[in-house]
Amino acid sequence: MLALPLLLAACGTAGGAGSQDAGPPRPGGTLRLGISSNPDCIDPQQVSTNASVNVGRQLVDSLTDQDPKTGAITPWLADRWTVSPDSTSFTFHLRPGATFSDGSPVDAAAVKTSFDGIKALGAKALLGSSYLAAYRGATVVDPATVRLDFTQPSAQFLQASSTMSLGVLAPAAFRHTAEQRCQGAGLIGSGPFVFTSLKPNQDIVLSKRTGYRWGSPLWRHQGEAYVDKIDFRVVPEPGVRSGSLTSGQLDAITDVQPVDEPQFSGNGFAEPVRPNPGIVFNLHANVTRGVLADQKVRQAVSKGVNRPEVTSTVLTPNYKPATSILGSATPLYTDLSQELAYDPAGARALLQSDGWVPGPDGIRTKNGQRLGASVLFSPVFNQNQSVLELIQQQLRKIGFDLKIELHTNAEVTRLQQAGDYDFLWYNVTRADPDILRQQFSTKTNNRSKLPADNPLDASLTEQSATVDPAKRKPAAEKAQRTIVEQAYSIPVFELTQVLGVGPTAHDVGFEASSRLQLFDAWVSGS
């Protein structure tokens, strides 16, 4: 498996201890953690927003874990597994002794019930349903052995088995409705924390699971978690969130905005950061719409985007310019920085050769048609509009008119499903290259609206057929290269998780999907 870079800010460490020598970890206390939005659902199997994911991850264990440094899949609830040669069958051997918070065992029957339950959720399990699209069912081989079968090669499932979206819930959880579980009722996991309370738009409280002793071997310690409670406090306004941390009302916060980053450079504060794996923020083209049906136009747009200017002007050094459609923290990522170099002269030459000539206002025209397209976006990342306004300015320099359309998340989803868009602006986090198949394949979301005879599908299918990284890598590389060279998508920058950690919080870390890992976190006096 390829080594993955773990990006750390100069002002602190991943552990969040700041500049103080806090000594050895100590148990007890409450970690007061400010989050940027109200989790609409805290059932790990249903959630999709960052705030929800960061809460839900603490409640459930997964069959496997993923090393954030190397991308390797490692044991957790399963201590070993085998995969059929065609990647359609996965047999997991469960470690002994793990139990759910209601005391029932984490056995093969419970795993089967949990995976069947995720499949039954359908679209409500936004992430899990995509991982289990080809799920045929589970077989209890014996109490400690379960086999999961798929109707087609599903190499991606091994990494998916490490995610919170496929975290295992107890059979008793499924006696509650999906809506009840969203609000915390029946959330019976085997994780290091248990659900205590939820006050919408205020806070979610989790408590330490007494007797927990089957944590991932990747974690820094074994046994129970350190903190007695985690209090996730909903603080949507970035300035208020940062102020609450500096004043000591919070111990740590998520989603530090670029303008607030300097506050947490030293003075006992730390700023752990990690780039998100998966698809970077990008302009995803609908190749059936208007001028974007022209490959040369799409290629010119890619050459006309100055990615380093985006990160240095609107963002901060914590954010990387895109060097592929996949983020650099994604296993089997391929560096295509040369292909994505800023080249406005090359863009103009491409457009000129394609018959697009400058008009009186600088925007190019061809046969009476203006050169332009619109981009749909929602404010899921605070800097989205500023980034797109800068890209708009950059593209005017090559004679392209980018129109920016702000919509709610629900509106963007509706327009996307209807195919009513030129460009989509989004990112998707996943620590596996199969995320490309989910978004680009004609057999799945096909956001580019590619025809059946496109040059991309074959490599996307090939990379999904084997769990062997050496065999997967060439197909994954070819898929990334095809997307960039055909300009089906215009990658711009890598989303980065930036935390603010105060002097009282320590070892607030990330797992491989750049979600919070709070088992090792602890608090001390200020």
Residue 144 C-alpha from the chain's centroid: 31
Tens-digit pLDDT string for the chain (526 aa): 333 333 333 333 333 333 345 779 999 999 999 999 999 899 999 987 889 999 999 999 999 999 999 999 999 999 999 999 999 999 999 999 999 999 999 999 999 999 999 999 999 998 999 999 999 999 999 999 999 999 999 999 999 999 999 999 999 999 999 999 999 999 999 999 999 999 999 999 999 999 999 999 999 999 999 999 999 999 999 999 999 999 999 999 999 999 999 999 888 999 999 999 999 999 999 999 999 999 999 999 999 999 999 999 999 999 999 999 999 999 999 999 999 999 999 999 999 999 999 999 999 999 999 999 999 999 888 899 999 999 999 999 999 999 999 999 889 999 999 999 999 999 999 999 999 999 999 999 999 999 999 999 999 999 999 999 999 999 999 999 999 999 999 999 999 999 999 999 999 999 999 999 999 999 997 4
| H or E segment to which residue 129 belongs | helix 128-131
**CB contact set of 90 (below 8 Å; sequence gap of 6+):** 81, 82, 83, 84, 147, 148, 149, 150, 157, 158, 161
d(CA 383, CA 358): 31
Residue 158 C-alpha from the chain's centroid: 17
d(CA 435, CA 131): 10
List the Cα angle 125/131/133 in 5-degree steps. 85
d(CA 395, CA 397): 5
Task: Report helix, strand or coil for 279.
Answer: strand
**Taking a C-beta distance cutoff of 8 angstroms, is the pair 350, 300 a contact?**
yes
Across 13-84, the runs of DSSP E, i.e. the strands, are 30-35, 64-66, 73-75, 78-83
Q: What is the pTM of this model?
A: 0.92
Task: Report helix, strand or coil for 281.
Answer: strand
